[in-house]
Every structure is written in C-alpha cells, then in structure tokens.
C-alpha cells in the first residue's frame, strides 16, 4: 500500500539526448521525461573495510509506478544527478517502484 505522506521528496527523470550544432559537433543534453514525489533513502557507503573513505553515493527512491522510467535515465534529486542502476516493481502490483541510483559524474 502506498503511503503518500512518506513521499516527501521531489525527483525528476531525464534522458540523455545527443544534439548536433551547425558544425555537426555532437553534444549531450538532458531532456526532462517525468517528475514526481518519492520517498528517498540515502544508502551511501562512507567507508570501506579498511576504513578508507569511499566516494560512492547511493540512494533508493520509492515512487508511483510509471512505464516511462527506465534504467537508461538520469535521476535528479536535491539538485544532484544520479545514474539509475535498476528499476524494480518489487511487489508486482504495478502500484509503486523502487529505484536504486548512484551518483553520476556528469
């Protein structure tokens, strides 16, 4: 069951689009595909086994089900871009999905 009150974060989904200019130079840009409210949990790993810092930043986002969200997209949360690693309809009811994303280097 979806508890809307727990979905208190705003997230956006972008796809990467190649754009050619008048000199046929290709550049990449982000195009907004979908935006929604979600419950976002920080799953970052701050240290490794030998206590050295690790820069991997992970989040888990739970939002309403949408067929337009794929794992080739970029998720923007709190003005930071994350690369979507997987999208799972974890209960099989097509009501909500869980998204695992990692900090992007764009």
pLDDT in tens, 33-42: 999 999 998 8
Residue 66 pLDDT greater than 50, yes or no:
yes
Nearest-angstrom CA–CA distance, 42 and 62 = 12
What band does 106 get if pLDDT is binned at 50, 70 and 90? very low
Q: What is the mean pLDDT of the chain?
A: 84
**In the prediction, which pLDDT does 69 show?**
92
Under CATH, which number does the domain 4-103 receive? 2.40.10.270
Nearest-angstrom CA–CA distance, 66 and 58 = 21
**In the prediction, which pLDDT does 8 show?**
86
Strand partners, 99: 61, 87
Q: Which SS3 state, helix, strand or coil, does residue 5 take? A: helix
* Domain extent listing, the chain: 4-103
Residue 90 pLDDT greater than 90, yes or no:
no
Q: List, in order, residues 6 or more apart from 35 with CB less than 8 Å away.
A: 10, 11, 12, 13
Q: Percentage of the chain with pLDDT > 70?
A: 81
- Whole-prediction pTM: 0.79
Residue 1 pLDDT greater than 90, yes or no:
no
- Residue among 40, 98, 94, 41 at smallest CA distance from 71: 98
- Residue among 45, 31, 27 at smallest CA distance from 76: 31
Q: Which residue has the higher pLDDT, 36 or 56?
A: 36
Residue 56 pLDDT greater than 70, yes or no:
no
In terms of phi and psi (left: phi > 0; alpha: psi -120 to 50; beta: otherwise), the region of 48 is beta
């Amino acid at each position: 069951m979806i508890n809307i009150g727990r979905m208190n974060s705003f997230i956006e989904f972008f796809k990467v689009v190649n754009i050619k200019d008048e000199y046929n130079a290709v550049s990449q840009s982000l195009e907004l595909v979908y935006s929604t409210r979600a419950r976002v949990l920080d799953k970052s790993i701050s240290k490794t086994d030998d206590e050295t810092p690790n820069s991997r930043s992970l989040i888990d986002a739970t939002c309403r089900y949408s067929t337009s969200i794929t794992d080739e997209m970029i998720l923007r949360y709190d003005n930071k871009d994350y690369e979507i690693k997987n999208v799972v309809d974890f209960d099989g009811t097509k009501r909500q999905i869980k998204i695992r994303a990692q900090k992007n280097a764009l």
